[in-house]
Structure 1
Amino acid sequence: MNPVIRPMKFSKIIILAIVLFVPGFLYLLMENLGRHEYVKLPIYGQKSLSGEMRRVMGREVPDTLYHQLKPLQLTNWDGRPVSWMQSDSIISVAHLIYNADSAFSDIALDYMDRLATKFASKTSVHLYSITVDPNDNVAVLQKMANRFGDLERRKWHIVGNPSIDMLQYAREQMLLNASRDTKDSTKFLIDDQIILIDGKHRIRGFYPLSQHTELKRLEDEIKLQLVEEVRDNPMRVEKS
């Protein structure tokens, strides 16, 4: 009997050890190998090395400098100053418009109206409709804003600054095509793109307004970027 009993007892010990130790081992493995594996959006624009090193998951890696939008002082439709790209706790959704454009600009504003309503409860998501026309003064911006309700609560800013060359800024900073129409100087040629900008003022996505699937992607990627901001800076986002 003993030769039979001993192997059975030994097998039970092995099974018990597996039940007790394998789940813990798998948990530790996932904690160490899988905790940083989540989807991140690309970062657009020129990149360069800072010449310094930083530690990532226990390894020294070269520090990368990414394209960051420069801050501006803009004026909102209600006359209040707006500090563009000066907060480090805001996810920005932005596009170009001008009042005399009854085609793309009107369509873009209608879409931003819906987007602003959808993300009204997200305190760190702000929307910016930026005019490139220096003739679009506060009165003109207010006329555009009057088509929509309660922009302030939904953190939607219709802004401009006639003292700034917004066409140049759009090209160099927002990485959008923007220029005067050579056939009619009162008109502008502007991209139909909406851009997503993270809390570090880096461009994380371009979304053509003319493509419904791209607009759905924008809405999904705003949520994805919110998750990244919380993971990277939970206290900063909480205070925003």
Structure 2
Amino acid sequence: MSQTTFPVKKILVLLILLVVPGSVYYLLKAKGENRYRPLSIYGPKQPASTFHTKRGKQIRDTLYHEIREFKLLNQNGDSVSFPVDSAQITLVNFFFSRCPTFCSDMNREMARVAKINNGNRLLRFLSISVDPEYDRPDVLKAYSQNYRTENPKWDFLTGDRKLIYSLAKQDFLVDAIQDTTRELNFIHSPMIVLIDSKKRIRGYYDSTGGNEKMNLLVDEIRVLMTEELRNDKGR
């Protein structure tokens, strides 16, 4: 019986030695590449007049949609510029302090992501009010105390209504509308928007989508950070 079992054991060992390295290579190579594939770039795009070379071929560059530079006031009455820093990734959402629906849940989700990334020097958080006449800096200061303790690099912004609504629609490509037929009815997006250091939109995440959407956001922040660091070795 021992003569029969020995070859079987030997064959199993050989199979393990042959199969396992190949499986590990596949997981590290193929799956690894999929996991860290660059995120999509959202918004309108058009061909540029410049080219780059890839594998000996000239490929036309692409001009991607970018968020314009702007300034708004934060909860302390200080002027905050976008981009805050040319080397940073930014998370942006639109809300208002008197919101009777999903705003508190949206900012709780932002707070959860902010807490996970507390101390991350590459990431900023901006929450922009769509009710700027009421949401003055002092109002936002009181409101932000419920959330901002999770991360000091989180600003709650207010300013000119026309600018804010224009930014929402034309730059961040989300809704921001006041329904004048009803009191306290501001129609705005529940999306949290991920912006890279080049001011391009890299992701939309539905704050009403539960843990699955927010976990995806946390993962894709890491993917984008990896991409940013690979593109700028000196940062």
For the superposition of Structure 1 and Structure 2, which TM-score range results when normalised by the shorter chain? 0.7 to 0.9
Q: 1:149 to 1:167 in 2, by over 3 A?
A: closer
Q: 1:163 to 1:126 in 2, by over 3 A?
A: same
Q: 2:191 aligns with which of 190, 193, 201?
A: 193
Q: Which moved more, 1:156-165 or 1:120-129?
A: 156-165
Q: CA deviation at 1:85?
A: 2.4
Q: 1:78 to 1:64 in 2, by over 3 A?
A: same
Residue of structure 1 equivalent to 2:222: 223
Residues of 2 paired with 1:181 and 1:59: CA distance? Answer: 52
Residue of structure 2 equivalent to 1:6: none
Residue of structure 1 equivalent to 2:70: 72
Residue of structure 2 equivalent to 1:145: 144
Within 5 Å, give how 1:7-156 maps onto structure 2: 38-85=36-83, 87-135=85-133, 136-148=135-147, 150=149, 154-156=152-154
Residues of 2 paired with 1:38 and 1:209: CA distance? Answer: 23
Q: RMSD of the TM alignment (CA)?
A: 2.3
Q: CA deviation at 1:117?
A: 1.1
Q: CA deviation at 1:186?
A: 3.7
Amino acid at match of 1:64: T
SS in structure 1 opposite 2:146?
coil
Q: 1:108 to 1:220 in 2, by over 3 A?
A: same
On the 8 A contact 1:90/1:198 being kept in 2, the answer is yes
Residues of 1 paired with 2:225 and 2:152: CA distance? Answer: 17
On the 8 A contact 1:46/1:67 being kept in 2, the answer is yes
Consecutive unaligned residues in structure 1, runs of 5 or more: 1-29
Q: Radius of gyration: which is bigger?
A: 1
Residues of 2 paired with 1:205 and 1:211: CA distance? Answer: 14
Q: CA deviation at 1:168?
A: 2.1
On the 8 A contact 1:193/1:209 being kept in 2, the answer is yes
Residue of structure 2 equivalent to 1:172: 170
Amino acid at match of 2:223: L
Residues of 2 paired with 1:84 and 1:38: CA distance? Answer: 27
SS in structure 1 opposite 2:149?
coil
Residue of structure 2 equivalent to 1:9: none
In percent, how many aligned pairs have the same letter? 27
CA displacement 1:130-184 (0-9 Å, x = unmatched): 1111211111111111223536x53111112136431221011001012111422
On the 8 A contact 2:195/2:203 being kept in 1, the answer is yes
On the 8 A contact 2:83/2:199 being kept in 1, the answer is yes
On the 8 A contact 2:106/2:208 being kept in 1, the answer is no
Amino acid at match of 2:102: F
SS in structure 2 opposite 1:127?
strand
